[in-house]
Amino acid sequence: MDRKTIYAEKNCDYLNQFMTELPVNCLFDKGKTGCGGTTIAIENDKDTIIAMPYVNVIKNKEVQYPNEKCDKKLFGIYEGVTDEEIIDYIENNQIKKFAVTYDSLDRLINVLYKEKDIDVYKDFFLLVDEWHILFNSYAFRNKAIKRVLNYAKQFKEVTYMTATPIEEEFILKELRDLPIVEVQWNNVTTVEVKPIVTNQPITAVCELIKDCIEGKVFGNLHFFVNSVEFIADAIQKTGLKPEDVRVVCSTNKNVGKRKKSNQKKLGDNYIIEDTTTQAKKINFYTSTSFEGCDIYDENGKTYIVSDKGKSHTLLDISTLIIQICGRIRDSHYKTRIGHIFGETRYNKFVSYDEFKESTQRQLAETKDWLNDINRMNDNNRKKTINLIERNNKSGLNEMYISNENDRLEIDENLVNLDIVNFKITNHLYQNRITLTDEYSKYGFKPMETVTKPYTDKLAENPKAKISFKDLFEEYVLIVGESSNYSFNGTSYSCNLGNKEDRKSLIEELKPLVKEAHEILGVQRVRELNYNVTNIKRTIYNMRADLSQDTKIIHCLKDKGIREGTTATAKGWKNELQDIYTALEIKDSKGKIKKAKAIDLDNWFEIKKTTPKIKGKTTDCYTIIRSKFIYK
Q: Give the pLDDT confidence of 80-132 residue by residue, as tens digits.
A: 999 999 999 999 999 999 999 999 999 999 999 888 889 999 999 999 999 99
Quick one: which of 544, 536, 550, 530 has its CA closest to 582? 536
| Confidence bin at 433 (pLDDT 50/70/90) | low
Given pLDDT bands bounded at 50, 70 and 90, which one contains residue 153? very high
Q: Choose the most confident range, by mean pLDDT, from 308-312, 351-355, 392-396.
A: 351-355
Q: What is the arithmetic mean of pLDDT over 34-59?
A: 95
Structural domains of the chain sorted by starting position, each given as residue range(s) with its CATH number in brackets: 3-184 (3.40.50.300), 192-344+429-446 (3.40.50.300), 355-409 (no CATH), 454-626 (no CATH)
By mean pLDDT, which of 64-78, 233-247, 328-342 is the weakest? 328-342
Which distant-in-sequence residues (6+ apart) come within 8 Å of 198 by Cβ? Answer: 204, 340, 341, 342
- Region 322-345: mean pLDDT is 85
* Better-scored residue on pLDDT, 312 or 546: 546
Report the pLDDT value the prediction gives residue 139, as an integer from 0 to 100: 79
Which pLDDT score, from 0 to 100, does residue 620 have?
96
Q: How far apart are CA 199 and CA 280, in angstroms?
A: 28
Alpha-carbon distances, residue 607 vs 487, 572, 604, 612, 627 (angstroms): 47, 13, 10, 16, 13
The pLDDT of residue 394 is above 60: no
Strands 401-403 and 245-248: unpaired
Cα(534)–Cα(531) distance, rounded to whole angstroms?
A: 5
Q: Where are the alpha helices (DSSP H) in 449-566?
A: 454-460, 468-479, 499-509, 511-519, 522-527, 532-542, 548-558
Q: How confident is the model at residue 488 (pLDDT cuts 50, 70, 90)?
A: very low
CB 282: neighbour CB atoms within 10 A? 24
The C-alpha atoms of residue 181 and residue 173 are separated, in whole angstroms, by 18
Q: Is the pLDDT of residue 466 over 60?
A: yes
Residues 6+ apart with CB under 8 A from 19: 6, 40
**Crossing angle (nearest 10°) for helices 468-479 and 511-519:** 60
CB atoms within 10 A of CB 126: 27
Packing angle, helices 499-509 and 468-479, rounded to 10: 140
pLDDT band at 568 (very low <50, low <70, confident <90, very high): very high
Between 249 and 442, residue with greater pLDDT: 249
Instruction: Find the radius of gyration of the CA atoms of the chain.
Output: 35
Kindly report the average pLDDT of the chain as a whole number. Answer: 89
Question: How many C-alpha atoms does 28 have within 13 Å on its Cβ side?
Answer: 24
283 DSSP β-pair partners: 222, 246
> What pLDDT is attached to residue 318?
63
Q: Which of 155-169, 207-221, 436-450, 590-604 has the lowest mean pLDDT?
A: 436-450
Most confident of 186-190, 341-345, 482-486, 578-582: 578-582
- Whether the per-residue pLDDT at 601 is higher than 80: the answer is yes
Percent of the chain with pLDDT strictly greater than 70: 92
Percent of the chain with pLDDT over 90: 64
- pLDDT score for 346: 47
Confidence band, pLDDT 50/70/90 cuts, at residue 485: low
pTM of the model: 0.74
Determine which of 43-52, 251-260, 509-518, 564-573 has the lowest per-residue pLDDT on average: 251-260
Q: Which residue has the higher pLDDT, 70 or 442?
A: 70
Residue 77: pLDDT above 60?
yes
29 vs 369, residue with greater confidence: 29
Question: Does the pLDDT of residue 489 top 60, yes or no?
Answer: no
Mean pLDDT to the nearest integer, 187-193: 82
